[in-house]
Amino acid sequence: QSALTQPASVSGSPGQSITISCTGTSSDVGTYNLVSWYQQHPGKAPKLMIYEVSKWPSGVSNRFSGSKSGNTASLTISGLQAEDEGDYYCSSYAGSGTLVFGGGTRLTVL
Amino acid sequence: QVQLQESGPGLVKPSQTLSLTCTVSDGSISSGTYYWSWIRQHPGKGLEWIGFIYYSGSTYYNPSLKSRVTISVDTSKNQFSLELSSVTAADTAVYYCARAFWNRDAFDIWGQGTMVTVSS
């Protein structure tokens, strides 16, 4: 069970759109539509932003959207805002009751 | 709104057992709709899933930690607990408890996290 692969960092200017990728295998991302995304600010607990690839929890802005193609899931943030800066993690169900996280991506709003 | 709160020693000696408890408030751990989980984050690093437990006691563990982890539930106290044995400095991390969806695919409510340092 290996960690999902995310880019270490991405950046964008306010108002722009950015996309963070999350690459797994046919044992996790590729098989299950159970990919989630979390936002984490320094010193805080992660916050669920997307679940089941593209669903929004209550209260999360629709500027955040998720998708999946094959073994790679993606999180897109449109209309980038300063408050979006932070770390983003993907996760995927990996079968047999297990779950795996990605290594995390640091988003910088320029 | 359900809230989770971790508690336990912030310092554990090497080779000993790390023990943490998560107290669930404003909601029942026995609701049956959710799993309950432990997740850790090494300093400056990413998230690592440790395991799930259902109120009935059914458990699922990260294969890399399975030999050292025990997660248990006490429905009478609305708590679930983590024990990690034979700890080393590599187990130094912030430990979070969290509520997971029925699919065990996402965590919608998290505790604030508790830092545990393994050191003599």
Q: What is the pLDDT of residue B84?
A: 98
Contacts of B21 (CB under 8 A, 6+ apart): B6, B7, B8, B79, B80, B81, B82
Which of A87, A99, A106 is the best substitution to test chain B (most B C-beta atoms within 10 A)? A99
How far apart CA A42 and CA B36 sit, in angstroms, is 24
Residues A14-73 have pLDDT tens digits of 999 999 999 999 999 999 999 999 999 999 999 999 999 999 999 999 999 999 999 999
Q: What is the pLDDT of residue B22?
A: 98
With an 8 Å Cβ cutoff, the interface of chain A facing chain B consists of 1, 3, 32, 34-36, 38, 45-48, 51-52, 57, 89, 91-93, 96-104
Q: State which H helix or E strand residue B83 sits in.
A: strand B79-84
Q: Which amino acid is at B41?
A: Q
How far apart CA B30 and CA A1 sit, in angstroms, is 30
- Record: contact A97-B52, CB cut-off 8 A: yes
Tokens representing B29? 């751990």
Does residue B31 carry a pLDDT above 90? no
Contacts of A15 (CB under 8 A, 6+ apart): A79, A80
Residues of chain B numbered 81-110 and touching chain A (CB < 8 Å):
96, 101, 103-108, 110
Burial (CB count within 10 angstroms: exposed 0-12, middle 13-18, buried 19+), residue B39: buried
Between the two ends of chain A, the Cα-to-Cα distance in Å is 35
For residues B72-98, average pLDDT: 97
Residues B104-114 have pLDDT tens digits of 889 999 999 99
From chain B, pick out residues whose CB is under 8 angstroms from the CB of A103: 46
From chain A, pick out residues whose CB is under 8 angstroms from the CB of B108: 48, 51, 57
Q: Phi-psi bin for A43: left (phi > 0), alpha (psi -120 to 50), beta?
A: left
CA-closest candidate to residue B22, choices B2, B42, B41: B2
From chain B, pick out residues whose CB is under 8 angstroms from the CB of A52: 103, 105-106
Residues A84-110 have pLDDT tens digits of 999 999 999 999 999 999 999 999 999
Q: What is the DSSP letter of B30?
A: T
